[in-house]
Chains A and B, each alone.
Chain A
Amino acid sequence: MLSPIQKEIVEQPGNLIVRASAGTGKTHTMVSKIMYDIEHQHTHKVVAAITFTIKAANEIKERLTIDTSSHFIGTNNSFVIEEIIKPFMKDVFGKAYKQDMNTDYSVKVNTFNEGVAKIRDEQVLCSYENNMENFIFQLALDILKKSKACQLYLQAKYFKIYVDEYQDCDKDMHALFMYICVCLNIDTFVVGDEKQSIYMWRGAYPKAFMDIWNRQDFSKKFMRDNFRSCQQIQNYSNLLCYETRDLYKPVEDLSSVIMVCATSANWVSSVIPYLDLHKKCALLRYSKANAEAGAKDLTDRNIEFTYIPQTPIADITTETAWLYNAIAKFFILPKYSAYDFRDEIPNEVVGNKRILNYIKKSLSILDECIKQEDTSGFEKQIMLMANYLGYEAKADHCEMLYRTICDKRYHPAFNIDGLKRIAITFHSSKGLEFEQVILFVSDYRLSSEQDIYNYYVAATRAKSKLIMVYIDNDWNAIQFAKNINRIFAESNLKMSDVATIVNCMCCN
């Protein structure tokens, strides 16, 4: 089902930019649009759906009910590495670059030429010391501009490029996508929300999004109707940013947004009365340590919260990343079968019995290796399997996979949907939604634009209840209070007009 604005977006041809506030059904709309465009496209050409995370890419793949094997659905970096740098670097820089490359962003360089030399000498794609600059994308654009073959390749293959979360693009990514759109004349769809830009610290450049919004050659659509959160949570979040303040609709019942004043010792007991234990809930914290500690505090009080850690394999960004993920899911998720595995093979034709038998055999060998704690046998079998499927595995990646499978602490990360209550960093919560959200206002001082955007993202994860913890006498919380009061004052409102305040020392 599509709302009228969503339907307009789906059927709009050509270049299109969509501003999508939190909870407006952005992914649903984008997936519907991709399906619509593919069904109305009668050539060999395919689409590229580009996301910031593998998780987001997988979500798109899962939601698409058509055969996606020939299309590119993956992350920004994998797009430019697999489609531009690896195949065409040799075309511009010469034969010395005709070799396989690994990505290792922990390796840092200062200049473009140093980065190029690293590839030639060590076959490593690295990153800049200065994280406001993006080596991978600068290199990709350089190759794309100079390689006619690369330009022809992209034009021959793609009829449309979809970029998700465009507000998170840095200026180098923006330059590359605009080159593809304007110079190669490939239709481009971008969706984003400048209010949800939470990556400015690493170069994200929300202005790029607004640049496109002002272009003549893009159609524009704005999705503001939040289908996720209840009215008061919408009100609360809409008041944070200037563009959405006019959506404020006063309501009588303020029970869905609760500001709990507490101490670091009693916050759990202060929060519990407001939790509905029958509904899903997430504790969002800024740091991993706080998320893990928060889960422990709640669990100690018999309200079980599962901390979701970052898995070792989450950092793998090579073409083979899907393989590690699929193997991990096979061993971690009870319902994930060899058939599910087969369906994740990119470019694989469904119904190939030989492949299925091979997968089954390989997985049972891996199972044996895990039981015998035979890490070298495990690695060998992964290498064989990758090779059979036309991919290449790396020893250190096999080791990361082995840890991911064998360390039970990582397992919840593969089953977020199946858990009732989780604790997670708010960066990892992006794109997720929960009935109830607990957040700590001390994580958001609201003194910068970035901080306001972070807070907006965290608050809009909640569907029916937003519980905010205010730790008394915490300096960060005091900053928050000062700033939020100023923001609400711009709409002639106070905190008590929009939230239920509990235990407040100063109010009582």
Chain B
Amino acid sequence: MKFNSVTIKNFRNFEDISIDLTNKNVLFGMNDVGKTNFLYALRFIFDKEIRKQNFNDTDYYKKNVFNPIEIIISIDISDTEDADSQKLRAKLKGAILSDQNIVYIKVKADYNKKEMVGVPVLYWGGDIEDLEEMKVHGTFFEIDYVFNVIYIDAYVDLYALFKKNANTLLVNDHEQDKDILESIDKICDELNAEISGLSGIKAFEEKIAPEYKKFRHDDISVSVKSEIAVKGLYSNIVPYIKQETDNSLYPTSGEGRKKLLVYAIFDLLSKEEEEKKITIFLIEEPENHLHRSMQIALSHILFLDNKYQYLFITTHSPYVLAEMDQINLVRIYNEDKIVSKSVLYRVPTKFKSQRKMLNRGLVEAIFADKVLLVEGPSENVLFGKVLSEINPFYEADGIYILPVGGFGFKPYYHILDALQIDNIIKTDNDLRKIKGKEKYSVLGFSRLNNFTKKKILPDTPIDETGVEAKRKLYDNNQEKLDQIRAEYSIYLSRCSLEEDLDEIIHDQMISYLPNADGDVIGYLQDAKNNHMVELVEKLTVEDCKRIYEHYNFACLKEVMQ
């Protein structure tokens, strides 16, 4: 069973949106773009508790109650051997025919002006044009026998959750439990007898009844009891945490600890149903209250554990995405209306063992609006400094610098493009000696041709190498390179970071880097990151402005616009 897509029409802040899905989906985007509403759209299909509440006029997009709300989800069940596909098929019956592999499940609600609600009606089947109305038994739709929805709120209350499910979680059905429960009852009676014996309690009971009778002449008396004796055993027990090394009990007071216990409880609850039903997890901002390391641990469980086979999660946290692989990234954002882009993200096979490293930059970048992709840490350090001098809040404004390192640009810009996150590439004008020949391939040019998927630049090898050869190559093709800058936002260095910088602030670099003995370029290229940090610490606002304004670093200006 595989989730295919969802379409939401006329619901809350979605006028009409279609999103490709897979079985694990991460939704992200700025606040107020409707991530929670998206989860609600799914809940109106899968969660009978939400459906029971019906739609209000405010659930209609801009209160447009003249059109119905429609939410349609499509699921591929062509894998007939898959147990979950079978679970669906066993209830679909004749709603899906022999040549059909996709199930459409639709909730539709026309607004009833008289009753002032939109009552959700469910349909399903294999033909989107001809769906069957789903059978209802009381408040149970057929789909409620197939799916089990676990919605985990960002601020879920551990104690309420525990109390609500105590009967499922605590099953005392062994023979000897009977005796114990009886004995607990007896102890409760004794406890209450003892409580009644306290002088303070007695005095209160005696005083309170006459006071009550001043308001109302009922023939009553008031007695104070332990709650456990009145509301039953489960009303009064809560989970405590006990550390292995320590015998005392700690209330599960820390929000982080509570949250982890909540996940553990949901795990247990889903186990109860997992053989018979398909469990879908809808998780809202799981990062709340969790320390960074806990978020990364959670990421590991969410993306690598089989339990969370069907997952829809909203998040603002890069750490929660640290382990992501085989997931659908869904970016929801606001242009003139709420739109979305999604992309299936798979860690390329060759980077499997470096998943966390590859993900590290990307998970930050997808939360930005504009990303400057650069070669490595030296660029990151220098550009970060320049941009923060121009605009100290550039990161808050949604700009992110992503050094691609050994992974190359491709795995990153492919994802960013698909999510329609503006990205600007800054790469070096590299030459590489061809083995056994006195020729040099124009690596930087070839890279650009590859990125633009057009052969704009000449790629015949050249006879010379070195700084001057690079500059000559650049200058001879400047017109085309400027065109690539304008059309594709790809910026080639004239030579490399250090040489391009040297063109602008040579004298300053000489004075800022006394250890370089005059060879600032060699010095910077020698211990790249460290020496660049040394330089950046000394750069003045003036220097930064010059760099920012210079042709060689025009990528900075573009990212700031």
On A, residues with C-beta under 8 Å from B are 42-46, 70, 83, 86-88, 90-91, 147-150, 152-153, 155-157, 345, 347-349, 352, 354-355, 358, 388-390
> Cα distance A156–B98 when bound, in Å?
14
B residues 338-376 with Cβ under 8 Å of A?
none
B53-92 contact mask (Cβ, 8 Å, vs A): 1 or 0: 0000000000000000000000000001001011101101
Chain B residues near A156 (CB-CB < 8 A): 80, 85-87, 89-90
Q: Which of A42, A88, A347, A389 contacts B94 (CB 8 A)?
A: A88
B residues 447-472 with Cβ under 8 Å of A?
none
B240-280 contact mask (Cβ, 8 Å, vs A): 1 or 0: 00000000000000000000000000000000000111000
> Cα distance A355–B140 when bound, in Å?
10
A149 touches B94 (CB 8 A): yes
A390 and B137 in contact (CB under 8 A), knowing A43-B83, A157-B90? Answer: yes
Indicate if B30 sits at the interface (CB-CB under 8 A).
no
A148 and B98 in contact (CB under 8 A), knowing A349-B140, A355-B138, A390-B135? Answer: yes
Q: Could you name 13 residue pairs across A and B whose Cβ atoms are closer than 8 Å?
A: A43-B83, A43-B275, A44-B86, A44-B87, A90-B97, A152-B89, A155-B80, A156-B85, A156-B90, A347-B145, A354-B138, A355-B138, A390-B136
Q: Which of A87, A349, A358 contacts B93 (CB 8 A)?
A: A87
Q: Which of A83, A152, A347, A352 contacts B80 (CB 8 A)?
A: A152
> Cα distance A209–B135 when bound, in Å?
37
Chain B contact residues, majority secondary structure: mixed
> Cα distance A155–B277 when bound, in Å?
17
Indicate if B419 sits at the interface (CB-CB under 8 A).
no
B95-107 contact mask (Cβ, 8 Å, vs A): 1 or 0: 1111010000000
> Cα distance A301–B89 when bound, in Å?
62
Indicate if B561 sits at the interface (CB-CB under 8 A).
no
B275 touches A348 (CB 8 A): no
Q: Which of B80, B94, B96, B138 contacts A348 (CB 8 A)?
A: B138
Chain B residues near A91 (CB-CB < 8 A): 94, 97-98
B85 to chain A, nearest CB (A): 8
> Cα distance A87–B98 when bound, in Å?
12
Indicate if B139 sits at the interface (CB-CB under 8 A).
yes
A348 touches B90 (CB 8 A): no
Beyond A44-B277, A148-B98, A355-B138, 20 extra complex contacts between A and B, CB < 8 Å:
A44-B90, A45-B90, A87-B94, A90-B97, A91-B98, A150-B98, A152-B89, A153-B90, A156-B90, A157-B90, A345-B137, A347-B140, A348-B140, A349-B140, A352-B139, A352-B140, A355-B139, A358-B138, A390-B136, A390-B137
Closest A-B pairs by Cβ, 8 of them: A87-B94, A156-B86, A157-B90, A156-B89, A148-B98, A355-B138, A156-B90, A149-B98
A389 touches B138 (CB 8 A): yes
> Cα distance A88–B145 when bound, in Å?
21
A153 and B92 in contact (CB under 8 A), knowing A90-B97, A91-B98? Answer: yes
> Cα distance A358–B140 when bound, in Å?
15
B residues 307-336 with Cβ under 8 Å of A?
none
Chain B residues near A42 (CB-CB < 8 A): 275
Q: Which of B80, B93, B96, B277 has the most CB of A within 10 A?
A: B93
Question: Residue of B at shortest CB range from A347?
Answer: B137
Chain A residues near B277 (CB-CB < 8 A): 44
A85 to chain B, nearest CB (A): 10
> Cα distance A155–B139 when bound, in Å?
28
> Cα distance A156–B93 when bound, in Å?
10
Chain B residues near A70 (CB-CB < 8 A): 145
A90 and B94 in contact (CB under 8 A), knowing A44-B275, A156-B86? Answer: yes
Chain A residues near B85 (CB-CB < 8 A): 156
Q: Which of B100, B136, B140, B276 contacts A149 (CB 8 A)?
A: B100
Chain B residues near A157 (CB-CB < 8 A): 86, 89-90
Q: Which of A153, A156, A389 has the most CB of B within 10 A?
A: A156
> Cα distance A149–B94 when bound, in Å?
8
B residues 436-455 with Cβ under 8 Å of A?
none
Chain A residues near B95 (CB-CB < 8 A): 87
> Cα distance A152–B80 when bound, in Å?
7
Chain A residues near B89 (CB-CB < 8 A): 152-153, 156-157
> Cα distance A90–B96 when bound, in Å?
11
Chain A residues near B145 (CB-CB < 8 A): 70, 347
Question: Residue of B at shortest CB range from A356?
Answer: B138
> Cα distance A90–B87 when bound, in Å?
22
Q: Which of B97, B138, B275 has the most CB of A within 10 A?
A: B138
A149 touches B138 (CB 8 A): no
> Cα distance A208–B235 when bound, in Å?
60
> Cα distance A354–B136 when bound, in Å?
13
B173 to chain A, nearest CB (A): 15
> Cα distance A83–B90 when bound, in Å?
10
A389 touches B98 (CB 8 A): no
Question: Residue of A at shortest CB range from B141?
Answer: A390
A149 and B97 in contact (CB under 8 A), knowing A44-B276, A44-B277, A355-B138? Answer: yes
Question: Residue of B at shortest CB range from A154?
Answer: B90
A43 touches B276 (CB 8 A): yes
> Cα distance A389–B85 when bound, in Å?
27
Chain A residues near B275 (CB-CB < 8 A): 42-44
Chain B residues near A45 (CB-CB < 8 A): 86, 90
B93 touches A153 (CB 8 A): yes
A436 to chain B, nearest CB (A): 42
> Cα distance A349–B97 when bound, in Å?
28
A354 and B139 in contact (CB under 8 A), knowing A44-B277, A70-B145? Answer: yes
Q: Which of A149, A348, A349 has the most CB of B within 10 A?
A: A149
B538 to chain A, nearest CB (A): 68
Question: Residue of A at shortest CB range from B89?
Answer: A156
Question: Residue of A at shortest CB range from B138?
Answer: A355
A147 and B98 in contact (CB under 8 A), knowing A44-B83, A44-B276, A349-B140? Answer: yes
A211 to chain B, nearest CB (A): 30
A359 to chain B, nearest CB (A): 10
> Cα distance A389–B140 when bound, in Å?
10
> Cα distance A399–B385 when bound, in Å?
88
Chain B residues near A348 (CB-CB < 8 A): 137-138, 140
Question: Residue of A at shortest CB range from B275?
Answer: A42
Question: Residue of B at shortest CB range from A41?
Answer: B275
> Cα distance A42–B90 when bound, in Å?
16
